[in-house]
Copies of this chain bind each other. A is one copy, B any other.
């Protein structure tokens, strides 16, 4: 809250427009006014995979603190970036999902992810490996030329969650949930998925080590759709 607000005598404590603003007429500054606070873009990242309950978000964002998540969700809702929905019975749970404006943040999230991936290295011991993040990353690792003419869905069971990866018209769609008519189903854990996609773990080896359950040919094909993210050395200049 800038000093200008005090000068105008506006307290604005509970109204719209909470949080600090840069007060710059600039797209970047405006974007950061809205989604630049801590945790916000990670919430968006998780919602890019589809609607999620409060608890799912808490689990995917260890350390956020429940009050902060509530704050962020409230703010994002008033900004028109997410929407609160109650699922139809029998589920009946309330979920949060991106609006069209929220979906439009996808490219910015992907570019940040691409940049961050350069310096990722290997997972540190105290690093969480959020499964949702891996499925978001798959959207930018996808190589359309490797999937030419292929229209298939895959269902992945990872650490107790189910994800759909749908390859269609040279595009890939990833979301959390059961796949529609999957061509193959794989069961594996997050580290193994990461090893297959990033570290070049050979699918056959992974299957032989029982780190994956599923069809060998399908798995090999599936893995081939995605680029191993090149490790760019962090050389100053």
Contacts and interface: CB of A to CB of B under 8 A. Distances in A.
Interface of A: 2-4, 20, 22-34, 36, 38, 41-42, 45, 62-63, 80, 83, 99-101, 104-105, 107-120, 123-124, 126-130, 133-134, 136-137, 194, 234-237
B113 A105 contact: no
Given A126-B4, A234-B80, A28 B104 contact: no
A167 B63 CA distance: 47
A20 to B, nearest CB: 7
B42 A137 contact: no
Contacts of A119: 30, 34, 101
A101 B123 contact: no
A27 B237 contact: no
B133 A29 contact: yes
B236 A99 contact: yes
A41 B27 CA distance: 12
A4 B62 CA distance: 12
Copies of this protein, total: 2
Contacts of A237: 83, 99-100
A26 B62 CA distance: 13
Contact of A27 (B23, B101, B114): B114
A26 B101 contact: no
20 contacts: A20-B38, A23-B126, A24-B130, A25-B128, A25-B130, A25-B194, A26-B45, A26-B116, A26-B129, A26-B130, A27-B112, A27-B115, A28-B112, A28-B136, A36-B38, A80-B236, A83-B237, A105-B115, A107-B115, A108-B108
A21 to B, nearest CB: 9
A115 B117 CA distance: 22
Q: Which of A100, A101, A118 is most buried by chain B, counting CB atoms within 10 A of its CB?
A: A101
A80 to B, nearest CB: 4
Contacts of A63: 2-3, 22-23
A111 to B, nearest CB: 4
Contact of A24 (B29, B36, B127): B127
A188 B101 CA distance: 34
A98 B34 CA distance: 26
A32 B112 contact: yes
